[in-house]
Amino acid sequence: MSSADRQIAVDVLNNLKTLTMKVDILNTEGQSTGRTIELSDEVFGIEPNEHVVYLAVKQYLANQRQGTHKAKERGEVKGSRRKLKRQKGTGTARAGDIKNPIYRGGGRVFGPRPRKYTLKLNKKVKRLAKKSVLSDKAQNDQIVVIEDFTFEAPKTKAYVSILEKLGLKDQKSLLVLPEMDKNIYRSGRNIPKVFIRRASDLNPYDMLNGGKMILSEGAVEQLNALV
């Protein structure tokens, strides 16, 4: 193979690595703006890895647990240490003091103790889980790209209007912003089935639980950088 042919092959491979899909950008009225945006094929076009997604969701849910549960055991319950009855000859089971677990008010047997539930995942595994969910959403037409917008003041009706125009009223939806906008967040936080997140805070659980994803232009640029 000549050097020229080798260079052509390298260029073709590089082009394959940067494949992108184009998506129409909608405005807040639910109409096309006539512009498109590219979704990186390395983020939105990979083969989803279900096991990695399972691990990421498991880690997220485990890390939400405080682990502060505690029950008093026999040695921690307040009460007399006096033996209630003699060991033998009563015709009933032997028993110790009033703190015996078989008595009401006694200590609990093997009760829960404070512990940590946190799990650790490698950065590459968590990144792959995000890309797997994004790819699955893209392949199942669960992603809508909307132009960047803001509200002058918190207005729930304005947010509901946008959902109606996008055909997502009374449906689960997850709005992803490049940076958190207080007015947008306050406009949508009281609406049932509506979730609002920053692109940098996204995790597989939120994406799976959030229904259809509404990505702003700025958020798409950040997500494309997950490569």
141: region left, alpha or beta (phi > 0 left; psi from -120 to 50 alpha):
left
- Per CATH, the number for 3-65+118-224 is 3.40.1370.10
Give the pLDDT band of residue 8 (cuts 50, 70, 90).
Answer: low
89: region left, alpha or beta (phi > 0 left; psi from -120 to 50 alpha):
left
- The per-residue pLDDT of the chain, averaged, comes to 90
DSSP for 167-216 reads T-TTS-EEEEESS--HHHHHHHTTSTTEEEEEGGG--HHHHHHT-EEEEE
- Is pTM beyond 0.85? Reply is no
Give the pLDDT band of residue 13 (cuts 50, 70, 90).
Answer: very low
What the block records as the tokens of 137 is 């959403």
| 132/128 Cα distance (integer angstroms) | 6
Give the pLDDT band of residue 6 (cuts 50, 70, 90).
Answer: low
pLDDT, greater one: 2 or 146: 146
121-154 pLDDT per residue, tens:
999 999 999 999 999 999 999 999 999 999 999 9
Could you give the residue range(s) of every CATH 3.40.1370.10 domain in the chain? 3-65+118-224
Q: Can you give the pLDDT at residue 226? A: 84
